[in-house]
Amino acid sequence: MPTLSFIVPCHDEEAVLPLAIPRLLAAGAATNESFEIVLIDDGSTDRTWELIADAATRDPEHVRGIRFTHNFGQHAAMLAGLQHARGDHALLVDADLQDPPELAAPMLARAWEGYDIVTGVRRSRAGEPWPKRATAWMFHRALNLVAPRPIPVDSGYFYLLSRRALDRLLALPARDRYLRLLVSLIDLPRVAFPYDRAPRLAGHTHYSYARLCGVAWHAFASCLRRPAAGTRDDTPRFEINTTTS
Q: Which of 119-128, 174-183, 212-221 has the lowest mean pLDDT?
A: 212-221
Alpha-carbon span 179 to 219, nearest angstrom: 9
| Per-domain residue ranges of the chain | 4-244
CA distances (Å), origin 1, targets 106, 164, 192: 21, 15, 27
pLDDT at position 209: 55
Answer yes or no: is pLDDT of 238 > 50. no
pLDDT at position 144: 63
Task: Give the DSSP per-residue string, 84-124.
Answer: H--SSEEEE--TT-SS-GGGHHHHHHHHHTT-SEEEEEEEE
Task: Identify the top-confidence range among 12-26, 66-80, 195-209.
Answer: 12-26
pTM (two decimals): 0.80
Answer yes or no: is pLDDT of 227 > 50. no
pLDDT at position 100: 94
pLDDT at position 244: 55
137 against 8, higher pLDDT? 8
pLDDT at position 141: 76
Q: Is the dihedral of CA 223, 225, 227, 232 positive or negative?
A: negative
**What is the percentage of the chain residues whose pLDDT exceeds 70?**
71
Read off the DSSP letter of residue 11. Answer: S
CA distances (Å), origin 149, targets 146, 204, 238, 240: 9, 33, 27, 32
Alpha-carbon span 205 to 209, nearest angstrom: 11
To 10 degrees, the CA torsion angle through 188, 117, 135, 98?
Answer: -170
Answer yes or no: is pLDDT of 234 > 50. no
Q: Indicate the average pLDDT of the chain.
A: 82
pLDDT at position 175: 55
Answer yes or no: is pLDDT of 95 > 50. yes
Answer yes or no: is pLDDT of 157 > 80. yes
Task: Give the DSSP per-residue string, 14-59.
Answer: TTTHHHHHHHHHHHHHHTTS-EEEEEEE-S-SSSHHHHHHHHHHH-
Q: How confident is the model at residue 21 (pLDDT cuts 50, 70, 90)?
A: very high
Could you tell me which of 159, 121, 110 has the C-alpha nearest to residue 7? 159
Distance of alpha carbon 53 from its chain centroid, rounded? Answer: 20
Contacts of 191 (CB under 8 A, 6+ apart): 110, 113, 115, 117, 118, 119
For the domain made up of 4-244, give the CATH fold. Answer: Spore Coat Polysaccharide Biosynthesis Protein SpsA; Chain A (3.90.550)
78 against 152, higher pLDDT? 78
Could you tell me which of 96, 106, 93, 107 has the C-alpha nearest to residue 36? 93
Q: How confident is the model at residue 240 (pLDDT cuts 50, 70, 90)?
A: low
Read off the DSSP letter of residue 68. Answer: E
